[in-house]
Chain A
Protein backbone atom coordinates (compact mmCIF):
# COMPACT_ATOMS: atom_id res chain seq x y z
CA UNK A 1 0.00 0.00 0.00
CA UNK A 2 1.36 3.39 -0.96
CA UNK A 3 1.45 5.51 2.20
CA UNK A 4 2.38 9.18 2.67
CA UNK A 5 6.01 9.71 3.63
CA UNK A 6 8.57 12.48 4.09
CA UNK A 7 12.32 12.44 3.52
CA UNK A 8 15.21 14.88 3.85
CA UNK A 9 18.03 14.97 1.37
CA UNK A 10 19.61 16.95 -1.44
CA UNK A 11 18.35 17.84 -4.90
CA UNK A 12 20.18 19.19 -7.92
CA UNK A 13 19.85 19.75 -11.66
CA UNK A 14 21.40 16.92 -13.73
CA UNK A 15 24.95 17.86 -14.72
CA UNK A 16 25.28 20.53 -12.03
CA UNK A 17 27.21 20.47 -8.74
CA UNK A 18 24.88 22.95 -7.01
CA UNK A 19 23.11 20.71 -4.54
CA UNK A 20 20.31 22.18 -2.44
CA UNK A 21 19.00 20.96 0.87
CA UNK A 22 15.62 19.40 0.19
CA UNK A 23 12.60 18.19 2.08
CA UNK A 24 10.37 15.88 0.07
CA UNK A 25 6.79 14.92 0.88
CA UNK A 26 4.75 12.34 -1.01
CA UNK A 27 1.07 11.75 -0.46
CA UNK A 28 -0.87 9.37 -2.77
CA UNK A 29 -3.81 11.81 -2.71
CA UNK A 30 -1.88 15.02 -3.27
CA UNK A 31 1.30 14.02 -5.09
CA UNK A 32 4.89 15.06 -4.56
CA UNK A 33 5.91 18.32 -2.88
CA UNK A 34 9.52 19.40 -2.78
CA UNK A 35 10.92 22.19 -0.62
CA UNK A 36 14.37 23.45 -1.58
CA UNK A 37 16.47 25.64 0.73
CA UNK A 38 19.04 28.02 -0.76
CA UNK A 39 18.68 26.82 -4.33
CA UNK A 40 19.52 29.89 -6.49
CA UNK A 41 18.63 27.89 -9.60
CA UNK A 42 15.06 27.35 -8.37
CA UNK A 43 13.88 30.87 -7.50
CA UNK A 44 11.84 31.60 -10.61
CA UNK A 45 8.19 30.72 -10.02
CA UNK A 46 6.80 28.62 -12.86
CA UNK A 47 10.20 27.33 -13.96
CA UNK A 48 9.88 23.75 -15.25
CA UNK A 49 12.38 20.90 -15.24
CA UNK A 50 11.99 17.67 -17.15
CA UNK A 51 13.95 15.99 -14.39
CA UNK A 52 15.76 16.79 -11.14
CA UNK A 53 18.08 14.42 -9.33
CA UNK A 54 18.23 13.93 -5.60
CA UNK A 55 19.51 11.76 -2.84
CA UNK A 56 18.16 10.97 0.60
CA UNK A 57 20.35 11.43 3.68
CA UNK A 58 20.93 7.67 3.67
CA UNK A 59 22.07 7.61 0.05
CA UNK A 60 18.94 6.54 -1.80
CA UNK A 61 18.84 8.12 -5.30
CA UNK A 62 15.78 10.11 -6.38
CA UNK A 63 14.55 11.15 -9.80
CA UNK A 64 11.79 13.72 -9.98
CA UNK A 65 10.03 14.10 -13.33
CA UNK A 66 8.00 17.02 -14.70
CA UNK A 67 8.86 19.38 -11.86
CA UNK A 68 7.60 22.95 -11.64
CA UNK A 69 8.49 25.69 -9.17
CA UNK A 70 5.24 26.69 -7.47
CA UNK A 71 6.43 29.29 -4.96
CA UNK A 72 9.60 31.09 -4.01
CA UNK A 73 10.54 33.05 -0.92
CA UNK A 74 13.72 35.13 -0.99
CA UNK A 75 15.34 36.02 2.32
CA UNK A 76 18.65 35.32 4.02
CA UNK A 77 17.84 31.72 3.31
CA UNK A 78 15.72 31.29 0.19
CA UNK A 79 13.00 28.69 0.06
CA UNK A 80 11.36 27.26 -3.07
CA UNK A 81 8.28 25.07 -3.22
CA UNK A 82 8.04 22.68 -6.20
CA UNK A 83 5.67 19.98 -7.44
CA UNK A 84 6.66 16.83 -9.33
CA UNK A 85 4.36 14.68 -11.48
CA UNK A 86 6.31 11.50 -10.86
CA UNK A 87 8.81 10.70 -8.15
CA UNK A 88 11.01 7.64 -8.50
CA UNK A 89 13.18 6.38 -5.68
CA UNK A 90 16.14 4.07 -6.17
CA UNK A 91 17.58 5.30 -9.44
CA UNK A 92 18.84 8.36 -11.32
CA UNK A 93 17.34 8.52 -14.81
CA UNK A 94 17.00 11.34 -17.33
CA UNK A 95 13.55 10.21 -18.41
CA UNK A 96 11.01 7.62 -17.37
CA UNK A 97 11.68 5.60 -20.50
CA UNK A 98 15.30 5.08 -19.33
CA UNK A 99 14.20 3.14 -16.26
CA UNK A 100 14.15 -0.55 -17.16
CA UNK A 101 13.20 -3.60 -15.14
CA UNK A 102 13.01 -7.30 -15.72
CA UNK A 103 10.98 -7.72 -12.51
CA UNK A 104 8.02 -5.60 -11.53
CA UNK A 105 5.63 -5.74 -8.58
CA UNK A 106 2.27 -4.09 -8.99
CA UNK A 107 -0.80 -3.68 -6.83
CA UNK A 108 -4.10 -2.04 -7.69
CA UNK A 109 -7.55 -1.57 -6.19
CA UNK A 110 -9.80 -4.54 -6.82
CA UNK A 111 -7.01 -7.08 -7.32
CA UNK A 112 -7.43 -8.56 -3.85
CA UNK A 113 -11.18 -8.89 -4.35
CA UNK A 114 -10.70 -10.26 -7.88
CA UNK A 115 -8.44 -13.00 -6.54
CA UNK A 116 -10.53 -13.87 -3.50
CA UNK A 117 -14.12 -13.40 -4.72
CA UNK A 118 -16.10 -16.42 -3.64
CA UNK A 119 -18.20 -17.45 -6.63
CA UNK A 120 -19.95 -20.28 -4.79
CA UNK A 121 -21.18 -17.93 -2.06
CA UNK A 122 -22.42 -15.53 -4.67
CA UNK A 123 -24.16 -18.36 -6.52
CA UNK A 124 -25.92 -19.43 -3.34
CA UNK A 125 -27.17 -15.92 -2.74
Chain B
Protein backbone atom coordinates (compact mmCIF):
# COMPACT_ATOMS: atom_id res chain seq x y z
CA UNK B 1 0.00 0.00 0.00
CA UNK B 2 1.39 3.44 -0.93
CA UNK B 3 0.04 6.76 0.23
CA UNK B 4 0.54 10.18 -1.30
CA UNK B 5 -1.18 13.52 -1.60
CA UNK B 6 -1.15 16.26 -4.18
CA UNK B 7 -3.05 19.55 -4.24
CA UNK B 8 -5.16 18.45 -1.28
CA UNK B 9 -6.25 15.16 -2.88
CA UNK B 10 -5.29 12.00 -1.00
CA UNK B 11 -4.09 9.06 -3.08
CA UNK B 12 -3.94 5.52 -1.79
CA UNK B 13 -2.55 2.73 -3.98
CA UNK B 14 -3.70 -0.79 -3.05
CA UNK B 15 -2.44 -4.13 -4.27
CA UNK B 16 -4.89 -6.91 -3.53
CA UNK B 17 -3.49 -10.42 -3.64
CA UNK B 18 -5.88 -13.26 -4.32
CA UNK B 19 -4.85 -16.85 -3.68
CA UNK B 20 -6.87 -19.81 -4.84
CA UNK B 21 -6.24 -23.45 -5.63
CA UNK B 22 -6.82 -27.04 -4.72
CA UNK B 23 -4.80 -30.11 -3.79
CA UNK B 24 -2.78 -30.10 -7.02
CA UNK B 25 -2.27 -26.46 -7.87
CA UNK B 26 -2.21 -23.00 -6.41
CA UNK B 27 -3.04 -19.78 -8.22
CA UNK B 28 -1.92 -16.34 -7.16
CA UNK B 29 -3.28 -13.17 -8.69
CA UNK B 30 -2.90 -9.53 -7.79
CA UNK B 31 -4.92 -6.49 -8.77
CA UNK B 32 -4.12 -2.84 -8.14
CA UNK B 33 -6.47 0.06 -7.51
CA UNK B 34 -5.90 3.70 -6.72
CA UNK B 35 -8.34 5.38 -4.36
CA UNK B 36 -8.53 9.16 -4.53
CA UNK B 37 -10.23 11.39 -2.01
CA UNK B 38 -10.89 15.05 -2.63
CA UNK B 39 -11.98 17.53 0.06
CA UNK B 40 -14.58 18.92 -2.38
CA UNK B 41 -16.63 17.06 -5.01
CA UNK B 42 -15.03 17.03 -8.46
CA UNK B 43 -16.92 16.39 -11.66
CA UNK B 44 -16.20 13.25 -13.65
CA UNK B 45 -14.54 15.41 -16.30
CA UNK B 46 -12.29 17.03 -13.70
CA UNK B 47 -11.35 13.64 -12.23
CA UNK B 48 -10.53 12.30 -15.66
CA UNK B 49 -8.53 15.27 -16.91
CA UNK B 50 -6.75 16.34 -13.74
CA UNK B 51 -6.19 13.06 -11.89
CA UNK B 52 -6.84 9.90 -13.86
CA UNK B 53 -4.93 10.96 -16.98
CA UNK B 54 -1.76 12.06 -15.13
CA UNK B 55 -1.69 8.82 -13.12
CA UNK B 56 -2.16 6.75 -16.24
CA UNK B 57 0.61 8.77 -17.89
CA UNK B 58 2.87 7.95 -14.95
CA UNK B 59 2.27 4.25 -15.58
CA UNK B 60 3.00 4.66 -19.31
CA UNK B 61 6.16 6.63 -18.61
CA UNK B 62 7.41 4.59 -15.66
CA UNK B 63 6.73 1.15 -17.12
CA UNK B 64 7.31 1.91 -20.84
CA UNK B 65 4.28 -0.13 -21.81
CA UNK B 66 0.88 1.07 -23.04
CA UNK B 67 -1.78 1.72 -20.45
CA UNK B 68 -5.51 2.27 -20.46
CA UNK B 69 -8.30 2.43 -17.90
CA UNK B 70 -9.54 -0.88 -16.53
CA UNK B 71 -12.13 0.38 -14.05
CA UNK B 72 -13.47 3.68 -12.82
CA UNK B 73 -16.03 4.16 -10.07
CA UNK B 74 -17.02 6.57 -7.36
CA UNK B 75 -19.76 7.54 -4.95
CA UNK B 76 -22.02 10.28 -6.26
CA UNK B 77 -23.10 12.75 -3.64
CA UNK B 78 -26.88 12.61 -3.18
CA UNK B 79 -27.55 9.46 -5.28
CA UNK B 80 -29.45 7.07 -3.02
CA UNK B 81 -30.68 3.58 -3.90
CA UNK B 82 -33.89 1.83 -2.80
CA UNK B 83 -32.21 0.52 0.35
CA UNK B 84 -31.27 4.05 1.43
CA UNK B 85 -27.57 3.60 0.68
CA UNK B 86 -25.73 5.54 -2.03
CA UNK B 87 -25.22 3.76 -5.35
CA UNK B 88 -21.72 2.98 -6.40
CA UNK B 89 -21.40 4.95 -9.65
CA UNK B 90 -19.47 3.06 -12.31
CA UNK B 91 -18.31 4.48 -15.62
CA UNK B 92 -18.20 2.10 -18.57
CA UNK B 93 -16.64 3.20 -21.83
CA UNK B 94 -14.34 2.09 -24.60
CA UNK B 95 -11.17 3.41 -23.05
CA UNK B 96 -8.41 4.33 -25.49
CA UNK B 97 -6.00 3.05 -26.50
CA UNK B 98 -7.20 -0.55 -26.42
CA UNK B 99 -4.58 -2.38 -24.38
CA UNK B 100 -4.43 -6.13 -23.88
CA UNK B 101 -3.72 -7.53 -20.44
CA UNK B 102 0.04 -7.93 -20.85
CA UNK B 103 1.95 -10.79 -19.30
CA UNK B 104 4.11 -10.02 -16.28
CA UNK B 105 7.26 -10.88 -18.23
CA UNK B 106 6.53 -8.15 -20.80
CA UNK B 107 7.16 -5.50 -18.15
CA UNK B 108 10.54 -6.90 -17.17
CA UNK B 109 13.55 -4.94 -18.37
CA UNK B 110 11.47 -1.95 -19.47
CA UNK B 111 10.61 -0.03 -16.30
CA UNK B 112 12.54 3.22 -15.92
CA UNK B 113 10.55 4.44 -12.94
CA UNK B 114 8.77 1.77 -10.89
CA UNK B 115 7.23 2.89 -7.59
CA UNK B 116 10.09 1.54 -5.52
CA UNK B 117 12.80 3.26 -7.54
CA UNK B 118 12.50 6.18 -5.12
CA UNK B 119 12.50 6.29 -1.34
CA UNK B 120 9.59 8.71 -1.01
CA UNK B 121 6.64 7.81 -3.21
CA UNK B 122 4.65 10.77 -1.86
CA UNK B 123 7.31 13.19 -3.06
CA UNK B 124 7.43 11.49 -6.47
CA UNK B 125 3.66 11.77 -6.91
CA UNK B 126 3.68 15.44 -5.87
CA UNK B 127 6.51 16.18 -8.32
CA UNK B 128 4.76 14.24 -11.07
CA UNK B 129 1.54 16.26 -10.76
CA UNK B 130 3.50 19.51 -10.60
CA UNK B 131 5.36 18.62 -13.80
CA UNK B 132 2.22 17.42 -15.55
CA UNK B 133 0.46 20.70 -14.75
CA UNK B 134 3.45 22.68 -16.07
CA UNK B 135 3.39 20.73 -19.34
CA UNK B 136 -0.32 21.43 -19.76
CA UNK B 137 -1.81 20.24 -23.05
CA UNK B 138 1.66 19.32 -24.31
CA UNK B 139 1.63 16.39 -21.88
CA UNK B 140 -0.91 14.69 -24.11
CA UNK B 141 1.41 15.13 -27.08
CA UNK B 142 4.17 13.21 -25.35
CA UNK B 143 2.32 10.61 -23.29
CA UNK B 144 -0.25 10.00 -26.03
CA UNK B 145 2.58 9.34 -28.45
CA UNK B 146 4.53 6.95 -26.26
CA UNK B 147 1.28 5.21 -25.28
CA UNK B 148 0.53 4.36 -28.92
CA UNK B 149 2.70 1.47 -30.06
CA UNK B 150 0.89 1.36 -33.41
CA UNK B 151 1.92 4.87 -34.42
CA UNK B 152 4.11 4.79 -37.56
CA UNK B 153 7.78 5.49 -36.80
CA UNK B 154 7.80 8.73 -38.78
CA UNK B 155 4.78 10.15 -36.95
CA UNK B 156 6.28 9.07 -33.66
CA UNK B 157 9.53 10.87 -34.42
CA UNK B 158 7.79 14.09 -35.51
CA UNK B 159 5.46 14.05 -32.48
CA UNK B 160 8.37 13.59 -30.09
CA UNK B 161 10.34 16.34 -31.78
CA UNK B 162 7.38 18.71 -31.54
CA UNK B 163 7.05 17.82 -27.87
CA UNK B 164 10.78 18.30 -27.26
CA UNK B 165 10.48 21.83 -28.62
CA UNK B 166 7.44 22.78 -26.55
CA UNK B 167 8.81 21.03 -23.45
CA UNK B 168 12.01 23.07 -23.69
CA UNK B 169 10.03 26.24 -24.38
CA UNK B 170 7.85 25.72 -21.32
CA UNK B 171 10.58 24.64 -18.94
CA UNK B 172 13.92 26.07 -20.04
CA UNK B 173 13.25 28.81 -22.55
CA UNK B 174 16.05 31.37 -22.97
CA UNK B 175 15.13 33.92 -25.67
CA UNK B 176 18.25 35.55 -27.16
CA UNK B 177 16.99 39.09 -26.50
CA UNK B 178 15.05 40.65 -23.65
CA UNK B 179 11.35 41.01 -24.50
CA UNK B 180 11.39 44.83 -24.36
CA UNK B 181 14.47 44.97 -26.59
CA UNK B 182 12.88 42.58 -29.08
CA UNK B 183 9.64 44.60 -29.16
CA UNK B 184 11.51 47.87 -29.74
CA UNK B 185 13.65 46.42 -32.52
CA UNK B 186 10.64 44.77 -34.20
CA UNK B 187 8.74 48.07 -34.24
CA UNK B 188 11.79 49.82 -35.63
CA UNK B 189 12.18 47.25 -38.42
CA UNK B 190 8.50 47.30 -39.34
CA UNK B 191 8.47 51.11 -39.38
CA UNK B 192 11.24 51.04 -41.99
CA UNK B 193 9.18 49.02 -44.47
CA UNK B 194 7.65 50.85 -47.44
CA UNK B 195 3.99 49.82 -47.02
CA UNK B 196 1.45 47.74 -45.05
CA UNK B 197 1.86 44.96 -47.62
CA UNK B 198 5.45 44.31 -46.51
CA UNK B 199 4.47 44.76 -42.85
CA UNK B 200 1.90 41.97 -43.21
CA UNK B 201 4.61 39.64 -44.51
CA UNK B 202 7.22 40.40 -41.83
CA UNK B 203 5.14 41.16 -38.72
CA UNK B 204 4.20 37.51 -38.06
CA UNK B 205 7.74 36.29 -38.67
CA UNK B 206 9.28 38.90 -36.40
CA UNK B 207 6.89 37.91 -33.64
CA UNK B 208 8.67 34.55 -33.43
CA UNK B 209 12.17 35.77 -34.28
CA UNK B 210 13.28 36.12 -30.67
CA UNK B 211 13.29 32.40 -29.96
CA UNK B 212 15.79 29.61 -29.80
CA UNK B 213 15.85 27.32 -32.80
CA UNK B 214 14.66 23.75 -32.64
CA UNK B 215 18.27 22.66 -33.11
CA UNK B 216 19.36 24.69 -30.07
CA UNK B 217 16.54 23.33 -27.94
CA UNK B 218 17.24 19.69 -28.82
CA UNK B 219 20.96 20.19 -28.25
CA UNK B 220 20.20 21.69 -24.82
CA UNK B 221 18.02 18.72 -23.86
CA UNK B 222 20.66 16.20 -24.98
CA UNK B 223 23.35 18.05 -23.02
CA UNK B 224 21.19 17.89 -19.90
CA UNK B 225 20.43 14.20 -20.44
CA UNK B 226 24.17 13.55 -20.89
CA UNK B 227 24.69 14.50 -17.23
CA UNK B 228 23.02 11.16 -16.45
CA UNK B 229 24.30 9.17 -19.42
CA UNK B 230 27.64 10.38 -20.77
CA UNK B 231 27.27 8.34 -23.99
CA UNK B 232 24.85 11.01 -25.19
CA UNK B 233 27.69 13.53 -25.35
CA UNK B 234 29.38 11.38 -28.01
CA UNK B 235 26.28 11.10 -30.23
CA UNK B 236 24.98 14.62 -29.58
CA UNK B 237 25.97 16.14 -32.89
CA UNK B 238 24.73 13.19 -34.94
CA UNK B 239 21.42 13.06 -33.09
CA UNK B 240 20.76 16.82 -33.27
CA UNK B 241 21.64 17.02 -36.95
CA UNK B 242 19.71 13.88 -37.92
CA UNK B 243 16.58 14.96 -36.07
CA UNK B 244 16.48 18.55 -37.31
CA UNK B 245 17.60 17.85 -40.88
CA UNK B 246 15.10 15.00 -41.24
CA UNK B 247 12.32 17.13 -39.83
CA UNK B 248 13.25 20.09 -42.05
CA UNK B 249 13.34 17.87 -45.09
CA UNK B 250 9.90 16.47 -44.28
CA UNK B 251 8.18 19.72 -43.36
CA UNK B 252 9.98 22.33 -45.49
CA UNK B 253 11.12 20.02 -48.29
CA UNK B 254 14.76 21.04 -47.76
CA UNK B 255 17.21 19.19 -50.02
CA UNK B 256 18.17 15.84 -48.45
CA UNK B 257 21.72 15.46 -47.19
CA UNK B 258 23.58 12.74 -45.29
CA UNK B 259 21.74 13.73 -42.07
CA UNK B 260 18.28 13.03 -43.47
CA UNK B 261 16.87 9.65 -42.45
CA UNK B 262 14.78 8.05 -45.16
CA UNK B 263 13.82 4.60 -43.87
CA UNK B 264 11.40 3.38 -41.22
CA UNK B 265 14.36 1.97 -39.28
CA UNK B 266 16.01 5.40 -39.30
CA UNK B 267 12.85 7.17 -38.13
CA UNK B 268 12.28 4.54 -35.45
CA UNK B 269 15.83 4.80 -34.14
CA UNK B 270 15.71 8.61 -34.06
CA UNK B 271 12.36 8.45 -32.24
CA UNK B 272 13.74 5.93 -29.74
CA UNK B 273 16.87 8.03 -29.11
CA UNK B 274 14.84 11.21 -28.62
CA UNK B 275 12.46 9.38 -26.30
CA UNK B 276 15.51 8.27 -24.30
CA UNK B 277 16.66 11.90 -24.04
CA UNK B 278 13.21 13.07 -22.98
CA UNK B 279 12.97 10.30 -20.40
CA UNK B 280 16.27 11.41 -18.87
CA UNK B 281 15.10 15.02 -18.73
CA UNK B 282 11.77 14.15 -17.15
CA UNK B 283 13.42 11.89 -14.57
CA UNK B 284 15.73 14.79 -13.67
CA UNK B 285 12.68 17.09 -13.44
CA UNK B 286 11.17 14.70 -10.91
CA UNK B 287 14.08 15.30 -8.56
CA UNK B 288 15.95 12.03 -9.17
CA UNK B 289 19.71 12.22 -8.85
CA UNK B 290 21.90 11.69 -11.92
CA UNK B 291 22.84 8.25 -10.58
CA UNK B 292 19.18 7.31 -10.11
CA UNK B 293 18.38 8.50 -13.63
CA UNK B 294 21.27 6.53 -15.08
CA UNK B 295 20.16 3.45 -13.17
CA UNK B 296 16.55 3.86 -14.33
CA UNK B 297 17.56 4.25 -17.97
CA UNK B 298 19.94 1.29 -17.82
CA UNK B 299 17.30 -0.87 -16.20
CA UNK B 300 14.49 0.24 -18.53
CA UNK B 301 16.50 -0.04 -21.73
CA UNK B 302 18.26 -3.29 -20.97
CA UNK B 303 16.93 -4.82 -24.17
CA UNK B 304 16.31 -1.82 -26.39
CA UNK B 305 19.08 0.70 -25.81
CA UNK B 306 19.03 3.00 -28.88
CA UNK B 307 22.25 4.90 -28.22
CA UNK B 308 24.87 2.34 -29.43
CA UNK B 309 22.96 2.01 -32.72
CA UNK B 310 23.34 5.68 -33.67
CA UNK B 311 25.96 6.28 -36.40
CA UNK B 312 28.37 9.19 -35.84
CA UNK B 313 28.66 10.42 -39.44
CA UNK B 314 25.14 10.42 -40.84
CA UNK B 315 21.49 9.70 -40.26
CA UNK B 316 20.66 6.17 -39.13
CA UNK B 317 19.36 3.60 -41.60
CA UNK B 318 19.93 5.60 -44.79
CA UNK B 319 19.02 3.60 -47.86
Contact = CB atoms under 8 A, between A and B. Distances in A.
Interface of A: 1-2, 26, 28-32, 59-61, 85-91, 96-119, 122-123, 125
Interface string B82-104: 10000111111111001101101
Nearest to A101: B74
A106 to B, nearest CB: 5
B136 interface: no
Given A96-B45, A117-B107, A106 B33 contact: yes
Nearest to A120: B116
Contacts of A123: 295, 299
Interface residues of B, number: 70
A60 B81 CA distance: 7
Contacts of B47: 101, 104
A100 B59 contact: no
Interface stretch (B35-43, B154-162, B275-283): B35-43
A87 B92 CA distance: 5
Contacts of A112: 15, 30-32
B74 A117 contact: no
Contact of B89 (A28, A101, A117): A101
B87 A60 contact: yes
24 contacts: A2-B70, A59-B82, A86-B91, A88-B89, A89-B87, A89-B89, A90-B76, A90-B79, A91-B76, A99-B76, A100-B76, A102-B37, A105-B36, A105-B74, A106-B69, A108-B70, A109-B66, A109-B68, A109-B99, A111-B34, A111-B55, A111-B59, A113-B65, A115-B13
A77 B66 CA distance: 45
B43 A99 contact: yes
B59 A91 contact: no
Contacts of A91: 76, 79, 87, 89
Dominant SS among interface residues on chain A: mixed
A101 B63 contact: no
A113 B99 CA distance: 15
Nearest to B60: A110
A30 to B, nearest CB: 7
Interface of B: 2, 13, 15, 30-45, 47, 51-52, 55-56, 58-60, 62-63, 65-77, 79, 81-82, 87-95, 98-99, 101-102, 104, 107-109, 111, 114-117, 295, 299, 302
Contact of B92 (A32, A59, A61): A32
Contacts of A113: 63, 65, 104, 107, 111, 114
Contact of B73 (A31, A97, A104): A104
A119 B82 CA distance: 49
Nearest to B63: A110
A111 B16 CA distance: 12
Given A60-B81, A100-B41, A119-B299, A106 B55 contact: yes
A98 B89 CA distance: 13
A114 B115 contact: yes
A61 B104 CA distance: 37
A26 B299 contact: no
B59 A108 contact: yes
Given A60-B87, A100-B44, A106 B77 contact: no
A59 B87 CA distance: 10
A88 B88 CA distance: 10
B75 A101 contact: yes
A63 to B, nearest CB: 9
A108 B56 contact: yes
